[in-house]
A and B are shown apart, each in its own frame.
Chain A
């Protein structure tokens, strides 16, 4: 009997605003506990929330990037429940009328298949604080720095059917929110979190099974493993004739299993109702138009352009579009060196990526600006330096020895491409080695290499190899290949 898994993901992306969703307090991560909690965040009596326009703008940005409907009017609602790190006794969220609805995200799987994942909604809500159980022996500490931090909850339809699909979707959304600059995507700090709703059914035509919700899994790998475990568990339960219980489960990474956290039978009744402190959130068409106008080229579109217009191999395009900084860097190098997409891609993904990896730096903090790399590649293309020399120059540039021209000059690396100088050296070598010259003339091409080596030796290795080869042939048989162009 074959089972079908049905998976929907709820992603909580922390929006990259300076201040909180409803107060002016800083939303930065990592401050001393309770130093970034304003009176509003603490829920002191008499305080009132005022919505952060920047958070709204970021929500609209995601909505447009996934082709969703932006609600002209959406409503903030209160989700009521008691918990020590929820200061007001309710969370301000959106319920019946979210700001973003009905989007679509194309997700490319490892086998290059593309699935379209429907996004049911994305809504704005405030985060809760943090309970610190470990710091105190018998008491619980409450840190309200996170309380009120803006989140965008992105809810996919239950259209994913394997752990691999779920993770591919999660990665694609992760890339998108970072690409758009609306979320830093840091999973360790909880800026990008995921709950997974998982159920199984006996066939794709069968009604949906009872689902379990796996809470707060904080890495791609664990999401995949948690879902895989949960699917197997549910199949096991059903095949043994029992029923899956609708409940919330936690993933225990150490034991690689999920375990029950609370059953929905004692489910909280959140008593949602529209927040009377906040008028309906109106999003004027002008705001939508302005966000649309400032939307960057999206990763999938860019990837397609790299393959179709620039002729890059799919693998290069994938790697370049893995994140916006890499792609933007490549774009900048290419802009300075039009028509050399493959060369630029090779260096960005090769030498540069390796060097940054060694240095432990992200590309956004690369010691080489795109213009620096472009200059080096230009000199390589012009034949000023050889490919091998270019790598040395690159290393020197990374080490801070100056730009390409400065390194080339300082090391005396300029190739001898000048015809007169090369011919003078060639003629001397031919005169010194008449036997070998005669062998080449007689058609023994292997010996050509010996003569090239001698010229190289005579020029201290600076002879432009392509030109040298061509000139040597011309000299020896008068019918050598055309001279390579210098540009």
Chain B
């Protein structure tokens, strides 16, 4: 019965229907406690909930929420000391839709502070550990969600993806991670890092499960002016679209010098599998791919410097003790409340927007962003999807890159361009290298989630990489 948790959403829905709505959630909570060494959770969700109709699509299915999704009446921290006492009076749109669909939130997962990081090491609550190897990072920033799914605690978890924060931890933890098109899922109640890039996403066992969850959370929300009004497709019904004739673009830049040999080999093998399944590989050019990291590290901090200005110690969040003046209140509240990485990005962003530097940094980055988006437009005139390694390496060791922000940034080299262009993408397990999962990233044109999920689903029907678990012997 509780095995359902290991078998995916269809089994979970069936089990909940047969054994009662609370059984799986209780088991998930038990597993969360048993996996305390992962440090995947910041808090458990103990709220009593209104019961959804038995026929709701995710009735009785437990899930975890990244702790930057607001939960009404339940502390939401963004893994920051700044929000250590913050209890939102409202629920995120994603949380609302999942509850309405019957899913049961069991807890809030750990993340890089304010979702700024690629290793989960910037959390005020300590790093999350990778279930495949406790000495390694789970990736970030949605590391807690990825670890919770990989460890079998929950069948799915929410994440947010600003530069790869769903896909890269999915790759590191051997789960499927979906970042939908910007605007497909409402950002209402998702605490902002970089508003033009932030995108709610899903981490689950399979593309099929991502499709099931996306069908619930996607859709227009009048509370988010950037939310798309177009109708939501039936992603489940589209899963069985055949791969024959599908053109998959393979971009040279994604197989550059920084890619580990084992990662490259696993991805090439996955691409070969796609060819075997009837897809056609087409070499494509993305001439401005090298601009993605520099553009991202201007735009994201610039927006963050403004988004995080509200944490000033005046109305909510951390306030320093005994402020001597207004200036002192601001300075100490922010210096104490924010960790080093958040402070660094606020400073970079403030600088990039400053008079005299705006054109050189922010405007140039916006131009680069447009070039990157038109690269994708041109590529999608020739191909249906674009493939490559999600991350250049497998999960690295805790502490390995902490002191080297540039090396850390390199972990996002293949994912950030997707956010800059607002496209949907996912990462699926595509092999193992030295006992650690390797992720294959697939990128689709805007709002082509159905195509994206179907291509991933077909691969997962033909392979079993997504069924591998930490502790399995190869």
Chain A residues engaging chain B, CB cutoff 8 angstroms: 39, 42-51, 78, 80, 82, 84, 87-90, 142, 269, 271-273, 276-279
Within 8 A of A (CB), among B296-313: 302-303, 305-306, 308-310, 312
Chain B CB within 10 Å — which of A46, A80, A142 has the most?
A: A46
B448 to chain A, nearest CB (A): 21
* A80 close to B312 (CB less than 8 A): no
Within 8 Å by CB of A39, from B76, B89, B303, B314, lies B89
Q: What's the nearest-Cβ distance from chain B to residue A23, in Å?
A: 10
Question: Contact: B312 with A82, CB < 8 Å?
Answer: yes
Docked CA distance A51–B222 (Å): 11
Asked if A44 and B88 make an inter-chain contact with CB atoms under 8 angstroms apart, the answer reads yes
Contacts of A43 in B (CB 8 A): 310, 315
By a CB distance below 8 angstroms, the chain A residues around B305 are 80, 271
Question: Which A residues are in CB contact (< 8 Å) with B358?
Answer: 271, 273
Q: Are A89 and B309 in contact (CB under 8 A)?
A: yes
With A84-B326, A89-B308, A90-B309 known, 14 other A-B pairs at CB within 8 A are A42-B316, A43-B310, A44-B88, A46-B70, A46-B88, A46-B92, A46-B188, A48-B224, A50-B223, A142-B314, A271-B305, A271-B306, A276-B226, A277-B192
Q: How far is the CB of B133 from chain A (nearest CB, A)?
A: 34
CB of A45 within 8 A of CB of B312, answer no
* A39 vs B303: C-alpha distance when bound (angstroms): 21
Q: How far is the CB of A310 from chain B (nearest CB, A)?
A: 49
Which residue of chain A has its CB nearest to the CB of B351?
A271
**With A45-B78, A50-B223, A88-B309 as given contacts, are A273 and B191 in contact (CB-CB < 8 Å)?**
no
A223 vs B196: C-alpha distance when bound (angstroms) = 42
Please give me the residue from chain A that is nearest to B183 by CB atom. A279
Q: How far is the CA of A197 from the CA of B224 in the complex (A)?
A: 38
Do A39 and B86 touch (CB < 8 A)?
A: no
- What total count of A-B pairs have CB within 8 Å? 98
Shortest Cβ gap from A124 to chain B (Å): 14
Residues of A within 8 A of B189 (CB): 46-47
Interchain CB contact under 8 A, A276 and B303: yes
A276–B306 alpha-carbon span in the complex (Å): 10
**Residue contact B306 to A78, C-beta cutoff 8 Å:** yes
In the complex, what distance in Å separates the CA atom of A45 from the CA atom of B194? 13
Instruction: Please provide the 7 A-B residue pairs with the shortest distance between their CB atoms, ordered closest to farther.
Output: A89-B309, A276-B196, A271-B353, A276-B195, A46-B70, A45-B191, A46-B189
Which A residue's beta carbon lies closest to that of B69?
A: A46
Is chain A's interface secondary structure helix, strand, loop, or mixed overall?
loop
The 9 listed contacts between A and B (C-beta, < 8 Å) are: A46-B70, A78-B306, A80-B306, A82-B309, A84-B326, A87-B310, A276-B226, A278-B225, A279-B225
CB of B354 within 8 Å of the partner chain: yes
A278: B residues at CB distance < 8 A: 225-226
**Shortest distance between the CB of A11 and any CB in chain B (Å):** 26
B190 within 8 A of A: yes
> Which one of B196, B225, B308, B326 lies within 8 Å of A49 (CB-CB)?
B225
- Nearest B residue to A49, CB-CB: B225
Within 8 A of A (CB), among B180-209: 187-192, 194-196
Bound: A45/B317 CA distance, A = 10
Nearest residue (CB) in B for A78 is: B306
